[in-house]
Amino acid sequence: MTDWQGIVATHSGVVWRTVYRLLGNHQDAADCFQETFLSALDVARRQPVRSWPSLLTCLATARALDRMRRRMRDGARSADVAELKSVASPEPGPDQRAETAELVRMFRELVVRLPDRQAEVFCLRYGSEMSYREIAREMGLKTSDVGVLLHRARGRLRELMEPAEGPCGPEVMP
């Protein structure tokens, strides 16, 4: 029997950070947080779970990306500047907050335009700081496939950014 209260208590922080970092909106993050644990329950009923933190991070990332894609499709593209304080430096001026909000909004829009696997691998690597090996294990991939997906994701993001930035725009990709 699985101790769900213990799992939620132990791993709620990592799930919340994952969904909020991607969504930047408290209400969407709260919904996604619940969806993640419901999905984990479904997975645990079908198969044994090797690593709760990894599973929950992967599920949270996938749910957050799904929600972001729905948000983009539905046309709700507003970002709440007040909720972006965790991204901006301490006591930024209004111009810096606006610029940060715009960059975060633009980045989110670009990430959801990636193919599913690329977006998930990219977010797990750079958003959740998972290693190639951890991502490969959780997604059922070879470690080399993770590297290929990351390479393609970064290349596609550069292509998507070029029209907005122009060919002489700043290099912001890792």
- Distance from C-alpha of 167 to C-alpha of 8, rounded to nearest angstrom: 46
Over its C-alpha atoms, the chain yields an Rg (Å, rounded) of: 17
Q: Where are the domains of the chain?
A: 4-165
Give the architecture-level CATH label for domain 4-165.
Up-down Bundle (1.20)
As a whole-number percent, the residues of the chain with pLDDT over 90 amount to: 30
* Nearest-10 Cα torsion for 11, 40, 28, 63: 120
Largest Cα–Cα separation, the chain: 58
What is the predicted pLDDT for the residue at 90? 56
What is residue 83's three-state secondary structure? helix
Evaluate if pTM is beyond 0.75.
no
pLDDT digits (tens, 9 = 90+) for 48-59: 888 899 899 989
Distance, CA of 17 to chain centre: 10
Q: How many whole angstroms separate alpha carbon 132 and alpha carbon 121?
A: 9
Compare 122 and 84 and report the one with higher pLDDT.
122
What residue spans of the chain are helical by DSSP H? 4-23, 26-46, 52-74, 94-111, 116-122, 132-139, 143-165
